[in-house]
Structure 1
Amino acid sequence: MKKKLILFALCAFICASCGTVQSIIKSSFPYTATLVIPASSATGTTLTAISQGNSFDQNFAKNGNNGARVSDVHIVSAKMVATIPSDFNIGNLVSAKIYMAKANGDGEVMVASRTDIGSNSGNNIVLDIDNTHFLDELVREKSVRIKMVYQLRNKISLDASLRVVLGITADPTK
């Protein structure tokens, strides 16, 4: 039994260090962030919400992540979902732009946006992606910062939490 456990651990280690496996992991598990819009936010002005983005690698990898094993990383999908309150109408926003950066704010890149949010959009929307930038350097960071620049259409009575889900794709390093 002990030999099987050691063999399994060795196989898992070899697979985890493989670039192909890392590209599958990076492509399968999105970056997520919860951004808060305070009830005190003014309408008609450009506002900002910032949060730390999380990914599978950052949460579970022993030494940060294995971002060095992948390349040609870019956004393939972006979605925003209201979490608190769950019935928050994202249509209260006129527009939203999502940026990804290193934890200190360096290397900021716009990855998604929506400039035409309908007033009755409901509690989730799909964002338009900007996949013109490679995010190789950002996925190699131990943590990333997700920033939303937004404009409110209507005054809100409660703080609203929005979860941003950024799907990426990656190729194994050659």
Structure 2
Amino acid sequence: MLQSIMKSTFPYTADLVIMANTKIGEPHTVISTGNSYDQDFTKDGNNANQISEVRIISAKLQSKDPSNYNIGNISALRVYMAKADGSDEVLVAIRKDIAANSGNSVVLDIDNSHFLDEIVREPGVRIRMVYLLRKGVDIDVNLKLSLSIGAEPRER
């Protein structure tokens, strides 16, 4: 069980940029690479083979630059995780009802119906966010996405 706790401690994070003058009311996509302090699922000598059933356990989106950007300017979003080449993409988080006055941070609803074992063992993870803007922006906005990962010890 210690392995489960350790893998959950360091989330995958991704910087996602909403470009200035993005049209409101239309779906837009932004793609980034997910990084984790503990990216050692694939390295020799670790115990990556000792874990299984890797899933998302929480997801959060927050303003990075400007730090006071109101995430309520986004009306809805979906977050997908995939291998670096975009294959094996799965929905991992969604938020359909972001309140207009949400502030600079919002917790997303997770979709943990998929195991991510193969994706997180890849050298790179692709994060794709599809979103709808409620209110336009006149500067580029940098958001930080945090996806906490949980895993179970593999049965021997």
Same fold (TM over 0.5): yes
Q: What SS does the aligned partner of 2:4 have?
A: helix
Distance 2:147 2:121 in 1: 16
**Partner residue in 2 for 1:157:** 138
**Number of residue-to-residue matches in the alignment:** 155
Which structure would you say has the larger RCO, counting Cα contacts within 8 Å and 6 or more residues apart?
A: 2
Residues 64 and 38 of structure 1: CA distance in aligned 2, closer, same or farther (over 3 Å): farther
Answer 1 or 2: which has greater strand percent.
2
**Partner residue in 2 for 1:70:** 51
Structure-2-length-normalised TM-score: 0.91
Q: How far 1:56 moved relative to its partner?
A: 2.1
Q: What SS does the aligned partner of 2:8 have?
A: helix
* Counterpart AA for 1:126: V
Partner of residue 171 from structure 1, selected from 149, 152, 156 = 152
* Counterpart AA for 1:165: S
Residues 158 and 127 of structure 1: CA distance in aligned 2, closer, same or farther (over 3 Å): same
Structure-1-length-normalised TM-score: 0.82
* Counterpart AA for 1:55: S
Q: How far 1:69 moved relative to its partner?
A: 2.8
Q: What SS does the aligned partner of 1:57 have?
A: coil
The sequence identity of aligned pairs, in percent, is 55
Residues 102-132 of structure 1 deviation map (CA, whole Å, 9 limit, x = unaligned): 0000010100010001111100000001011
Alignment RMSD (CA, Å): 2.0
Ranges in structure 1 where 5+ consecutive residues have no aligned partner: 1-19
Answer 1 or 2: which has greater helix percent.
1
Distance 2:113 2:43 in 1: 31
**Partner residue in 2 for 1:119:** 100
Higher Cα Rg, which structure: 1
Partner of residue 136 from structure 1, selected from 89, 108, 117 = 117
Q: How far 1:64 moved relative to its partner?
A: 10
1:148 and 2:111 matched: no
